[in-house]
A and B are shown apart, each in its own frame.
Chain A
Amino acid sequence: MSQPRSGAVVALALFALVGTVFAAVSTADFIAFLDRQVHSVTCSFVPGLGAPDTTGTSGCHAVLMSPYSAVFRASTWGGIPISLAALSVFAYLLFRAADLLARRAAGDPDDTRFLVAATLLPVLVSLAYFAIALLRVGSLCKLCVGIYVASVGVFVSALAAHRGAARGAPARPFPWARYAVAFVEGVVFVAVPVVLYLALKPAYTGAMANCGDLIHPEDRYGVRVPLGGPPGGVPAIEVLDPLCPACKAFAQRLAASGLGERLDTQAVLFPLDKECNWMVGESLHPGSCAVSEAVLCAGPAAPDVLQWAFANQDELRAIGKDTKQVYDRIRQAFPDIGGCLGRPGVRARLNRSLRWVVANALPVQTPQLFVRGQKVCEEDTDLGLDFVLSRLIDRPQGGGRTGR
């Protein structure tokens, strides 16, 4: 074995270690959410040094909460994190590199050829996830970038190791039996942690699913705003604030899950803005009373106004303390509803929307989703959304069904 040959394998081992660390931090962050509480998320190129994201505004949080962070989400609460598979793969590559170095086999072209094939997997997955992060999620996560770099690093190192090992080596048949054993070892590295994860993760009990029903779901005031849905869709009511970032993120998660298309959703506007909402001492989302009026004024175009409000939340909240300025911005975007804004009729309707929330004794928070009158628990509106929603949609009525 020559020194340059083992150098490439050492590099591979280091990149695999880096990938293991990034994937481990990402997996630990994901698994922490299995306790159904709110946690900060690590988001740093040097895990452990950067300040964790406690506000949920980082790209890491967006990616972690996106439907792409886990698979089989409808089958098990939260799904199986994709980072767990990444952790297993990098740990496996670390094992293989360490094994080659320990056995002084870094110059064996049969082994290095397998390394090239094995490291191709994280490269391909990283490419796919990089594209998803950019095109679907719309933000990059620093931990993921670390994994992408490690993936490219292990692949390039494996290529270099193989080129060095194959140089001058006599041609010989592929050792398929050895490759099969190595492949099975890789499968075991992925399967064992996944099986343990599934076996040990908290069970989803009926009690967890019980977050209450609507006491007075009837719409006596005509305040519910249809958001569209398929004919015969499952009836759903979403209590929302058009300028609430959590409502926007929830709408995105719902859309990405594909389950939103099966719901016939009506919105009840609940702006957390003291301009019209006496239940909040401070305006959490200034300007949302004015924007809520716009949604009510829009009639059949209400979903368009809501989408526009979601897309321009930051700007609208920034000018939100000046209601006239918000009205002007709305009139600019939707001239047809300009005359309705601020009128006593629409203000009274918005007030009744708030009173609908009072009549149902709902918590002062947004968003809140009710499917067939049953509330989707706040803890189930992110990682557990697909799991819980698919059960509520497929079940006609009644309490929670258990599962993991």
Chain B
Amino acid sequence: MQQGKLHLALFLAVLVVLSGTVAWWVRAAASRLAEQQAGAAGQATAVASASDEGYCTGPLKQILRRVLTSCGLIKGGAQRGCQPVQARNVAAMSGDDFNALFLPLANRAAIIQFDQDSAELGSRATALLDKAFADQRGASYFLVVSRASTEGPLAYNRELSRKRAEAVLDHIRSKFADPDLDQEVGLLWLGAEYAQLDKEFCTWQRSRPEEACTSAFLNRSAFIAWIDCRL
């Protein structure tokens, strides 16, 4: 009888310790979970988003938004591309100031060069264009700013620079079947009358680096760059 009681006491003691321990662990986990749910949402994980680089200052964004809206890039615009007069008006700044906007893009931009009086892309031009466009990273907008050298009449140069911008767009459209192209690519054609590139841009990536970097050669071109700004 005594042994039976001892057996039962041991049985209950070990079982109670075992069950109590398990219950304590589970309750502790449940109360941690309840606390966590009642408290703050916990550590926030970064959410995927487009790039917004340090150079995207407030004033730069404001000007970009104005240019991009007026030039038909941002959704809802009725046209595609800006002519020189429009570009000058929406940017509301001198040509040098306009060019200075793009100086922070030195490592992102490329200058696609053309023959005189031509809007045809050569093989090296398309190679550089493909490379630059494929390097989108987190950028949201691709700007094409085309120009002409000062030879020839004003109207002719405007038209020539428009053809150069459109040649770039046509190539991108055919090469990269990007469904967002219309919301990504903005065109500005400046002819030879506004914001001509100066020698400061000679060091930038060009499709004809071996060519002498005169003002004429440099401006028979389309300046292309992904803009890493969220607007």
- A interface residue numbers (CB < 8 A to B): 24, 27-28, 31-37, 84, 87-88, 91-92, 94-95, 98-99, 102-103, 105, 185, 188-189, 192-193, 196-197, 200-202, 207, 220-221, 270, 276, 278-279, 344-345, 347-348, 351-352, 354-355, 357-358, 360-365
Residues of A near B101 (CB, < 8 A) are none
Q: How far is the CA of A351 from the CA of B137 in the complex (A)?
A: 6
- B interface residue numbers (CB < 8 A to A): 3, 6-7, 10-11, 14-15, 17-19, 21-23, 25-27, 29-30, 32-34, 36-37, 45-51, 130-131, 133-138, 175-176, 178-180, 228
Residues of B near A105 (CB, < 8 A) are 3
A91 and B18 contacting across the interface, CB-CB below 8 Å: yes
B136 and A357 contacting across the interface, CB-CB below 8 Å: no
Q: How far is the CA of A100 from the CA of B87 in the complex (A)?
A: 97
A200 and B23 contacting across the interface, CB-CB below 8 Å: yes
List 16 A–B pairs whose Cβ atoms lie within 8 Å, in order of A's numbering.
Answer: A34-B33, A36-B33, A91-B14, A95-B15, A102-B10, A105-B3, A200-B26, A200-B27, A201-B26, A270-B48, A345-B176, A347-B135, A362-B48, A363-B46, A363-B48, A364-B45
Q: How far is the CA of A98 from the CA of B17 in the complex (A)?
A: 15
Q: A37-B33, A94-B14, A354-B138 are in contact. List 6 more A-B contacts (CB 8 A).
A: A84-B22, A99-B10, A99-B11, A279-B46, A351-B136, A354-B48
Known: A34-B30, A103-B3. A344 touches B133 (CB 8 A): yes
Q: Is the interface of B mostly helix, strand, loop or mixed?
A: helix
A37 and B36 contacting across the interface, CB-CB below 8 Å: yes
B25 and A278 contacting across the interface, CB-CB below 8 Å: no
Q: How far is the CA of A345 from the CA of B7 in the complex (A)?
A: 78
Q: How far is the CA of A174 from the CA of B27 in the complex (A)?
A: 43
Q: How far is the CA of A345 from the CA of B46 in the complex (A)?
A: 28
Residues of A near B34 (CB, < 8 A) are 202
A348 and B134 contacting across the interface, CB-CB below 8 Å: yes
Q: How far is the CA of A329 from the CA of B136 in the complex (A)?
A: 26
Residues of A near B33 (CB, < 8 A) are 34-37, 202
B7 and A103 contacting across the interface, CB-CB below 8 Å: yes
B15 and A192 contacting across the interface, CB-CB below 8 Å: yes
Q: How far is the CA of A276 from the CA of B36 in the complex (A)?
A: 36
Residues of A near B21 (CB, < 8 A) are 24
* Nearest CB of A to B9, in Å: 9
* Nearest CB of B to A208, in Å: 8
In the complex formed, the residue of B with least CB distance to A90 is: B18
A87 and B18 contacting across the interface, CB-CB below 8 Å: yes
B30 and A99 contacting across the interface, CB-CB below 8 Å: no
Q: How far is the CA of A92 from the CA of B30 in the complex (A)?
A: 27
Residues of A near B30 (CB, < 8 A) are 34-35, 200-202
In the complex formed, the residue of B with least CB distance to A84 is: B22
In the complex formed, the residue of A with least CB distance to B130 is: A344
Q: How far is the CA of A91 from the CA of B11 in the complex (A)?
A: 10
Q: How far is the CA of A27 from the CA of B26 in the complex (A)?
A: 10
B36 and A35 contacting across the interface, CB-CB below 8 Å: yes
B11 and A32 contacting across the interface, CB-CB below 8 Å: no
B49 and A202 contacting across the interface, CB-CB below 8 Å: no
Q: How far is the CA of A35 from the CA of B38 in the complex (A)?
A: 13
Of A92, A276, A348, which is within 8 A of B176 by CB?
Answer: A348
Q: How far is the CA of A129 from the CA of B228 in the complex (A)?
A: 54
Chain A CB within 10 Å, residue with most, of B14, B26, B45: B26
* Nearest CB of A to B156, in Å: 33
Known: A34-B33, A220-B179, A344-B133. A193 touches B22 (CB 8 A): yes
* Nearest CB of A to B131, in Å: 6
Residues of B near A278 (CB, < 8 A) are 51, 137-138, 228
Residues of A near B175 (CB, < 8 A) are 344
